[in-house]
Amino acid sequence: MPNVRLALAQTNPTVGAIQANLAQILEQVVLAKQVGADILVFGEMALTGYPIEDLASRESFILEAELAVKALASKVVELGYEDLAVVIGHPAMANVQEQTGWAIAKNCASVIRGGEVIGTYAKHHLPNYSVFDEYRNFVPGNELLTFEHKGLKFSTVICEDIWQEGGPVSKLADAKTDVALILNGSPFEIDKDDKRLSLVKNLVQRQDCAAAYVNLVGGQDDLVFDGDSIVIDSKGRLIARAKQFKSDLVFIDIAAKDDMAVVGEHHLTKPNDNWQAWNALVLGLRDYIQKNGFKSVVLGLSGGIDSAVCATIAADAIGPENVFGVSMPSRYSSTGSKDDAEDLASRRGINYRIQAIENLVSPFESALDLTGLPAENLQARVRGVILMALSNKEGHLTLTTGNKSELAVGYSTIYGDSVGGYAPLKDVEKSLVWELAKWRNDYARSRNEVEPIPVSSIEKPPSAELRPDQVDQDSLPPYDVLDAILESYINQRKSRADLVLLGFDQAIIEKVLTLVDRAEWKRRQGAIGPKITGMAFGRDRRLPITNKYKG
Amino acid sequence: MPNVRLALAQTNPTVGAIQANLAQILEQVVLAKQVGADILVFGEMALTGYPIEDLASRESFILEAELAVKALASKVVELGYEDLAVVIGHPAMANVQEQTGWAIAKNCASVIRGGEVIGTYAKHHLPNYSVFDEYRNFVPGNELLTFEHKGLKFSTVICEDIWQEGGPVSKLADAKTDVALILNGSPFEIDKDDKRLSLVKNLVQRQDCAAAYVNLVGGQDDLVFDGDSIVIDSKGRLIARAKQFKSDLVFIDIAAKDDMAVVGEHHLTKPNDNWQAWNALVLGLRDYIQKNGFKSVVLGLSGGIDSAVCATIAADAIGPENVFGVSMPSRYSSTGSKDDAEDLASRRGINYRIQAIENLVSPFESALDLTGLPAENLQARVRGVILMALSNKEGHLTLTTGNKSELAVGYSTIYGDSVGGYAPLKDVEKSLVWELAKWRNDYARSRNEVEPIPVSSIEKPPSAELRPDQVDQDSLPPYDVLDAILESYINQRKSRADLVLLGFDQAIIEKVLTLVDRAEWKRRQGAIGPKITGMAFGRDRRLPITNKYKG
């Protein structure tokens, strides 16, 4: 009876940093071997990072990745690990006659052993919906790769291959696979983890094999890979679950496809949805900052809930000493707001300064004779100029604090409060901002830490404070109604007629949908931010700006 | 021997405006019938506009389009045109079992006659490269549609079907097709017209049939459809060519596939590349303005070449009386620049005002203690605030005047000179800006009109004038070198090593490529603008912001 030690390496690669990712992979090889691994599996495109987008159509990039795979094969043997099998995700050139459109490459998993690449699998099902453009970037493969190692049969497939019917994954049983090795670059969405688990369970039952599902971890632009790699035996039992939102290396001893055991202490459950959403936001921001060479962030602190939550996410991501908050009160800012901003900063020890805008705003007002909405936008734009000046002068990444509900209806000033390179709350609707704020305070309390978010920021009515006594609900329906309409219109793609049937008020429907459509040009110019739902603004939802459809 | 009058209707639909497009189509039906047409063919998706992007995944939208096709069939008969065949491009629902990913619809051409839809063709080759996402949005069809009308056999195919091998287009000869009706939504690129012509010639020779190639016309966000519909007989002779950049209705009398004649006066040649590029820019801007409900534009006039060309394009598009230029001199603006700005405005009668920025800039400088680059960016941002305030106050669309070379290397201030909803020169590299400026002046001279662009704007060294005696070439290589490097790196996807082989200086390569990669976050937040080359920034080139690749 075989006893094979399988290791799952859940790494956090950086897109394009092939040599740095290779070094990271080799570190994992050494660590895995120290714990006696016989076979070590990485995630999809662990060598290049994922998604590589149109880098896939640059020949020099694909060739460098292919060379790095060969270098890895040599290195493993040089380290003395002749009998270690390593399965690594990477792009490779497609045959010339297979190339279509702009796609010159395949999305591959190679098996390395004894200094050689003993086989390469090419992903068959190329997702081309939601945030994915794989038909644009890759040529599909069509053959299962099965190999024997230490008495067990392993087969490799990649991510979407298990989300669709047919293709190589349907041949796992015929190939007498003991363990399917599934390489993934599967971005986080609230609740998606359970979908993955049930998909893999379904697969092992259909194909009568065990499965090791290895995901990437880390932020890449608007995507957050959450890790949460899993191992399931051929009876459908969950054997192991890697950490979520952290790099991890998990070991499994395999006697047979239905006789597997995790090595060491281990948890099979994971925390609640709010914990997950929060950690996705923190990881997305941290990796954007670090992978793009920033050390600190600057953001406006209005005393409101959005900037309070953004600042807290930032403090969790890179430490409060690297977060620079700026209060920019105007003649319309209430004392309460100014106090709340200062309170927020002091609770975590965030850097804090005050820059009043009156003396910067009034010269514009007189020069251009501005009143009403143009004057409101002016205030927001003067604040934008201040934040960008501080960013330019001090080297901070600017965060923009708008939430998904605001972005949906365009309740923001373009080039004003929207300035910044990253939008932590881009995919967090207002209702969830409140929920997460309360959750984060509860979490602090449960750990005997100071609650980071002032209660009055959570409880007071939201206001842009751009004119006297303004509150958001002067211009918008209550956020619970707004968020419910947005969920139907944006996420569910419902029509006006559908929304009427759902019981929403016709005038409110018309108002909200018109605002959403009109704000498309602003969203197009907005900062990226981490996707945490099934339908995020950005590449997940691609609509024309010029669009007269009113259905 | 049959004598069939075929009409090609080159219309300018608006995306989403199904009822307005239907009305436009019916107008063409009446006009065509008045000239005795037997069969009338429209462009790809003429009913809904093109591309519809993710509107394709909204069921209500597709159903409304299907109803409109039926309404068209009834209307044609109500008008008394029982024997008129109409071929119309539109989306339709795919069968549930065919639906994949997010795609629920097909990209169709329906043949309408006698009040009924007598057949529907679904596009087979779905382009999913460059600006196209058709695999995301559509399910492919696989069957040729051939029908007989007045003694001739017609077959329908759609756009990309003739750009690829195989599929229904390879069955035209077997189906004994006399005339292939090709419905297109083919965006303008400099030189693309010749590609279309040779493709269609190639097709008629391979399949031994004549071909009527009907393109859309008009601007849709970043695409400009240039019309230029063509008819070619089975011997490969060009029989007719519709207008470029204008709606048109062209009639052909067909006795046989190799015996066709255009009705009325007609030109088979078209103007030079500069005329085409200029008209593409004018049409793209005009349609963006009109289809989005604007009446006027505002832009900064610096006295430089970019703003001069943008203002002239705008004046050509919507008349100088609807163009509002603003000179915003700083302490660093030369007298020459101020004069050139005023000269530019007066040559065409563009609205002109001066708003000096010194009194708006200095309060920020003192409050935030800004010098150096942050102070340079500040000036650009104060100008951005002014333009957006005027846009908000007076209702103009703001134009941003940056050219493709600047966008490539990030030689602009985000939220400063980059503010605006539309960027006329987004896909025009600096070398071409100069060429077009000279061409436009020549063109005016040839028509005995005042040259719109001041010669000194064309001839002086380009400068951002953000510090004393600054010129662009302090920071950038000469524009001819820069544009050549950008052509290789961006359009041809060459590597650093390739560029060295091409003979460029290594230090300059490194500098330019680093600037291009670093500017990705800025480009992501930039305004849309008309694509006129084979590789435009925007959805044509999708690269990660977080990207460490240096090859």
The whole-angstrom separation of Cα B138 and Cα B158 is 13
Residue in B129, B378, B415 closest to A102 by CB: B129
Q: Determine the number of helices (DSSP H) and then strands (DSSP E) in chain A.
A: 16, 19
Picking from B453, B471, B489, the residue at the C-terminal end of a domain is B471
Task: Count other C-beta atoms under 10 Å from residue A520's C-beta.
Answer: 17
Nearest-neighbour CA in chain A from B443: distance (Å): 31
Mean pLDDT of A35-61: 97
Q: Residue A401 has which token pair?
A: 């604090």
- Would the pLDDT of B202 be above 90? yes
Are B77 and B57 a contacting pair, CB within 8 Å?
no
Residue in B130, B360, B524 closest to A528 by CB: B524
Task: Count other C-beta atoms under 10 Å from residue B126's C-beta.
Answer: 27
The whole-angstrom separation of Cα B322 and Cα B324 is 7
Mean pLDDT of A279-303: 98
Inter-chain CB proximity A544 and B363 less than 8 Å = no
Inter-chain CB proximity B546 and A388 less than 8 Å = no
- Would the pLDDT of B386 be above 90? yes
Residue in B52, B385, B393 closest to A381 by CB: B385
Give residue B18's pLDDT: 98
Closest CA to A240 of A199, A220, A269: A269
Inter-chain CB proximity B544 and A355 less than 8 Å = no
Contacts of B15 in chain A (CB under 8 A): 544, 546-549
Task: Count other C-beta atoms under 10 Å from residue B335's C-beta.
Answer: 9
Same domain, B299 and B435: yes
Q: Which residues, in sequence order, are bridge partners of residue B345?
A: none
Are A111 and A85 a contacting pair, CB within 8 Å?
yes
The whole-angstrom separation of Cα B452 and Cα B347 is 6
How does strand B116-122 pair with strand B105-113? antiparallel
Mean pLDDT of B397-426: 98
Catalytic, B171? Answer no
Nearest-neighbour CA in chain A from B403: distance (Å): 17
Same domain, A111 and A199: yes
Contacts of B545 in chain A (CB under 8 A): 221, 292, 528
Same domain, A217 and A73: yes
In sequence order, which ranges of B460-538 are alpha helices (DSSP H)? 479-486, 496-501, 506-518, 520-524
Nearest-neighbour CA in chain B from A200: distance (Å): 19
Q: Please, how many CA atoms are within 13 Å of residue B21, restricted to the half-sphere of its CB?
A: 33
Give B100's pLDDT tier (boundaries 50, 70, 90).
confident
Catalytic residue among B106, B108, B159, B465: B159
- Would the pLDDT of B270 be above 90? no
Closest CA to A187 of A385, A43, A310: A43
Give residue B99's pLDDT: 87
Mean pLDDT of A164-192: 94
H/E run at residue B215: strand B210-215
Same domain, B357 and B212: no
CB pairs under 8 A between A and B: 229
Give A267's pLDDT tier (boundaries 50, 70, 90).
confident
Alpha carbon distances (Å) from B180 to B44, B172, B203, B254: 14, 7, 9, 13
Closest CA to A206 of A240, A236, A230: A236
Mean pLDDT computed over every residue of chain B: 96
Q: Is residue A350 part of a domain?
A: yes
Residue in B370, B548, B549 closest to A393 by CB: B370
Give residue A259's pLDDT: 97
Inter-chain CB proximity A292 and B393 less than 8 Å = no
The whole-angstrom separation of Cα B425 and Cα B322 is 19
H/E run at residue B324: strand B323-327
Cα A338 vs. chain centroid, distance in angstroms? 33
Residue B138 per-residue DSSP state = B
In sequence order, which ranges of A40-114 are alpha helices (DSSP H)? 59-78
Q: Is residue B88 part of a domain?
A: yes
The whole-angstrom separation of Cα A22 and Cα A38 is 20
Nearest-neighbour CA in chain B from A103: distance (Å): 8
The residue in chain A having the minimum alpha-carbon distance to the alpha carbon of residue B58 is: A493
Same domain, A264 and A280: no
Give residue B165's pLDDT: 83
Closest CA to B286 of B232, B323, B235: B323
Q: Is residue B185 part of a domain?
A: yes
pLDDT tens for B422-450 read: 999 999 999 999 999 999 999 999 999 99
Alpha carbon distances (Å) from B50 to A32, B21, B323: 53, 12, 28
Please report, rounded to a whole number, the percentage of residues in chain B having pLDDT higher than 90.
Answer: 92
Please tell me the least confidently modeled range out of A47-51, A98-102, A372-376, B143-147.
Answer: A98-102
Give residue A495's pLDDT: 96
Residue B399 per-residue DSSP state = B
Are A305 and A472 a contacting pair, CB within 8 Å?
no
Mean pLDDT of A383-406: 98
Mean pLDDT of A64-77: 98
Picking from B471, B490, B525, the residue at the C-terminal end of a domain is B471
The whole-angstrom separation of Cα B318 and Cα B320 is 7
pLDDT tens for A302-331 read: 999 999 999 999 999 999 999 999 999 999
The whole-angstrom separation of Cα A321 and Cα A335 is 26
Q: Is residue A502 part of a domain?
A: no
Give residue A298's pLDDT: 98
The reply to whether omega before B51 is within 30° of 0 (cis) is yes
The residue in chain A having the minimum alpha-carbon distance to the alpha carbon of residue B125 is: A101
Residue in B364, B367, B393 closest to A370 by CB: B393
Alpha carbon distances (Å) from A416 to A380, A381, B50: 4, 4, 33
The whole-angstrom separation of Cα A44 and Cα A23 is 17
Give A192's pLDDT tier (boundaries 50, 70, 90).
confident
The residue in chain A having the minimum alpha-carbon distance to the alpha carbon of residue B353 is: A368
Same domain, B299 and B406: yes
The residue in chain B having the minimum alpha-carbon distance to the alpha carbon of residue A550 is: B16
Q: Please, how many CA atoms are within 13 Å of residue A69, restricted to the half-sphere of its CB?
A: 28
- Would the pLDDT of A266 be above 90? no
Mean pLDDT of A275-292: 98
Same domain, A141 and A254: yes
The whole-angstrom separation of Cα A166 and Cα B235 is 46
Structural domain boundaries, residue A313: 276-471
Same domain, B248 and B299: no
Contacts of B381 in chain A (CB under 8 A): 384-385, 388-389
Same domain, B266 and B297: no
pLDDT tens for B62-95 read: 999 999 999 999 999 999 999 999 999 999 999 9
Contacts of A524 in chain B (CB under 8 A): 528
Are A252 and A260 a contacting pair, CB within 8 Å?
yes
Closest CA to B191 of B133, B246, B270, B131: B270
CATH number of the domain to which A452 belongs: 3.40.50.620
Catalytic, B406? Answer no
* Number of domains composing chain B: 2
- Would the pLDDT of B267 be above 90? no
The residue in chain B having the minimum alpha-carbon distance to the alpha carbon of residue A540 is: B54
- Would the pLDDT of B1 be above 80? no
- Would the pLDDT of B2 be above 80? no
Catalytic, B108? Answer no
Give A76's pLDDT tier (boundaries 50, 70, 90).
very high
For CA atoms A51, A56, A62, A66, the dihedral sign is: positive
Q: Which residues of A are catalytic?
A: 44, 123, 159
- Would the pLDDT of A370 be above 80? yes
Picking from A219, A254, A270, the residue at the C-terminal end of a domain is A270
Are A171 and A145 a contacting pair, CB within 8 Å?
no
Nearest-neighbour CA in chain A from B40: distance (Å): 26
Mean pLDDT of A474-494: 95
The residue in chain A having the minimum alpha-carbon distance to the alpha carbon of residue B523 is: A525
Q: Is residue A487 part of a domain?
A: no
- Would the pLDDT of B182 be above 90? yes
Same domain, A344 and A246: no
Q: Which residues, in sequence order, are bridge partners of residue A353?
A: A326
Please report, rounded to a whole number, the percentage of residues in chain B having pLDDT higher than 70.
Answer: 100
Please report, rounded to a whole number, the percentage of residues in chain A having pLDDT higher than 90.
Answer: 92
Name the burial class of residue A406, with classes exposed (0-12), middle (13-18) and buried (19+) by CB atoms within 10 angstroms of its CB.
Answer: buried
Mean pLDDT of A1-22: 95
How does strand A179-184 pair with strand A210-215? parallel
Q: Residue A303 has which token pair?
A: 């005393």
Q: Is residue A411 part of a domain?
A: yes
Q: Residue B310 has which token pair?
A: 């943008």
Higher pLDDT, A184 or A475: A184
Residue in A370, A392, A498 closest to B377 by CB: A392
CATH number of the domain to which A183 belongs: 3.60.110.10
Inter-chain CB proximity A221 and B59 less than 8 Å = no
pLDDT tens for B494-533 read: 999 999 999 999 999 999 999 999 999 999 999 999 999 9
pLDDT tens for B256-265 read: 999 999 998 8
Nearest-neighbour CA in chain A from B104: distance (Å): 12
Nearest-neighbour CA in chain B from A516: distance (Å): 14
Residues whose CB is less than 8 angstroms from the CB of residue A167 and which lie 6 or more positions away in sequence, other chains included: A124, A125, A142, A161
Inter-chain CB proximity B546 and A389 less than 8 Å = no
Q: Is residue A515 part of a domain?
A: no
Give residue A488's pLDDT: 96
- Would the pLDDT of A191 be above 80? no
Give residue A313's pLDDT: 98
Give residue A269's pLDDT: 85
- Look up residue B86 and give its amino acid: V
Q: Is residue A510 part of a domain?
A: no
How does strand B323-327 pair with strand B397-398? unpaired
Mean pLDDT of A347-364: 97
Phi, psi of B368 (to 5 degrees): -110, 0
Same domain, A309 and A222: no
Phi, psi of A394 (to 5 degrees): -110, -5
Give the 3-state secondary structure of residue A62.
helix
Give residue B98's pLDDT: 85
Give residue A98's pLDDT: 85
Same domain, A71 and A85: yes
Dihedral Cα A371, A374, A377, A383, nearest 10 deg: -60
Are A390 and A326 a contacting pair, CB within 8 Å?
yes
Q: What is the reported pTM?
A: 0.97
Inter-chain CB proximity A385 and B388 less than 8 Å = no
Residue in B291, B370, B381 closest to A546 by CB: B291
Catalytic residue among B123, B257, B426, B531: B123
The residue in chain B having the minimum alpha-carbon distance to the alpha carbon of residue A361 is: B360
Give residue B101's pLDDT: 84
pLDDT tens for B447-477 read: 999 999 999 999 999 998 889 888 888 889 9
Q: Residue B376 has which token pair?
A: 């340079």
